[in-house]
Chain A
């Protein structure tokens, strides 16, 4: 028994490694995108908040981000901050194409998700689910970390 167990172990490990490799491939095929640095800047009360993230197209085809939604907010919009002649404002963004291998940055003083109408109170340290939607009916659920007002 002991000898058998020892001889089986490498096979088991190999099987486990293969399973993990296939699982990884399946995940990559199912959602050809990865999101990093998903975060929200906390502000008091029910003030609109901004959500930021880096979206990388890991698939072989162009990806078009068409919007976002969340159960924690009544309304989520894609916006971009623009500066014109010393004046600053926001413009709505409808869809953004990300080429294969390209990373789209939603970053302070640029593209951001405008999150309005909190359905629950939020505090620094919370995690908030937001669904990013893409053309072709695809979507991706991402957890955003709620950070302090003074985050960079």
Chain B
């Protein structure tokens, strides 16, 4: 009944307008909240000189303007590497068409076995946004040092098979190549999609 009263109607309108204005203000002044670890100002900007899975020489400039996720792994890793890449693939699915603004760079810590053709077949299995990158040992050591990650290759068994240890971190850079966030194998696809969406939106 009160809505029929013009005074009450005006009051409700004013209250609603005030709420909307307050929400807008708080949205603007509040810090962006991230589901993943915020590494802004802690990790070095994106910089590298590597060979991609088509044999092309690439640098950080090649991917400027896109959100880049950088992960160190190897193709002979049966569990944690594909699990992490599958989670990133799911996160991209949640982004829909915006997924094209993202590139996932898989840097192999096992360049001896991970040839460009094998890297290509491997990364293609996860989606068109996935790119395999490699370089030889001294440059790889330097790149790992830049991102403060370590890796080591185990001793080969009787069949020549060996395993590696590597970092579980996924470093996420904005379109300008600035390090912003860090995900891990345990991060959820929803959290990654949420944060990457914010980065795409210019956060």
B-binding residues in A (CB < 8 A):
41-45, 47-50, 75, 79, 81, 83, 86-90, 108-110, 112, 114-117, 148-152
Set of chain A residues within 8 Å of B127, measured between Cβ atoms? 150
Contact pick for B125, options A110, A116, A148, CB 8 Å = A148
Residue of A nearest to B120 (CB): A44
Given known A-B contacts A43-B82, A49-B78, A149-B126, A87 and B167 have beta carbons under 8 A apart: yes
Closest CB in chain A relative to B46 CB, distance in Å? 19
A87, closest chain B residue (CB)? B165
Partner of A88, one of B76, B90, B185: B185
Please tell me if the beta carbons of A149 and B86 are within 8 angstroms of each other in the complex: yes
Contact across chains for B168 and A86 when beta carbons are under 8 A apart: yes
Minimum distance in angstroms from B119 CB to a CB of chain A: 10
Q: How many residues of B contact A (CB 8 A)?
A: 35
> Quick check: is B146 within 8 A (CB to CB) of the other chain?
no
Interface residues in chain B, defined as those with a beta carbon under 8 Å from any beta carbon in chain A: 75-80, 82-83, 85-87, 89-90, 118, 121-122, 124-127, 149-151, 159, 161, 163-169, 185-186, 189
B77 proximity list for chain A (CB < 8 A): 48
Residues of A within 8 A of B149 (CB): 86
Structural contact, A81 and B76, CB atoms closer than 8 A:
no
Once A88-B166, A152-B90 are accepted as A-B contacts, the answer to whether A45 and B82 lie under 8 Å apart by CB is no
Contact A81 B163, CB 8 Å, known A42-B125, A150-B127: no
Report the minimum CB–CB distance from A88 to chain B (whole Å).
4
Contact assessment for B78 and A43 in the assembled complex, using a CB-CB cutoff below 8 Å: yes
Point out the residues of chain A lying under 8 angstroms from B189, CB to CB: 152
Contact, CB under 8 Å: A83 / B168: yes
User: Do B161 and A149 touch (CB < 8 A)?
Assistant: no
- Interfacial chain A residues near B121, Cβ < 8 Å: 44-45
B80 touches A81 (CB 8 A): yes
Chain B minimum-CB-distance residue to A147: B86
Q: Which residues of chain A are within 8 angstroms of B159 by Cβ–Cβ distance?
A: 75, 117
The answer to whether B122 touches A44, judged by C-beta atoms less than 8 angstroms apart, is yes
A43: chain B residues within 8 A (beta carbon): 75, 78, 82, 122, 125
Q: How far is the CB of A94 from chain B (nearest CB, A)?
A: 16
Using A88-B80, A108-B83, A150-B90 as known contacts, list a sample of 10 further A-B pairs with CB atoms less than 8 Å apart, ordered by residue number in A: A43-B78, A43-B82, A48-B77, A48-B161, A87-B150, A87-B151, A87-B165, A88-B166, A89-B165, A150-B125
Complex A-B, nearest 8 residue pairs according to Cβ-Cβ distance, in ascending order: A149-B125, A89-B165, A108-B83, A50-B78, A44-B121, A150-B89, A88-B168, A48-B78
Tell me the complex Cα distance, A151–B90, Å. Answer: 9
CB distance from B44 to the nearest CB of A (A): 16
Q: Which residue of A lies closest to B118 (CB)?
A: A45
Tell me the bound Cα distance from A43 to B126 in angstroms.
Answer: 10
CB-based contact B186/A89 at 8 Å: no
| Residue contact B79 to A87, C-beta cutoff 8 Å | no
- Complex Cα spacing A63 to B117, Å: 44
Whether A87 contacts B83 by the Cβ 8 Å rule is no
**Closest CB of chain A to B131's CB: distance in Å?**
15
| Choice from B76, B83, B118 contacting A109 with Cβ under 8 Å | B83
Q: Taking A88-B168, A88-B185, A109-B185 as contacts, is the C-beta distance between A79 and B118 under 8 angstroms?
A: no
Instruction: Say whether, besides A44-B125, A149-B125, A150-B90, A86 and B82 are in contact (CB < 8 Å).
Output: no
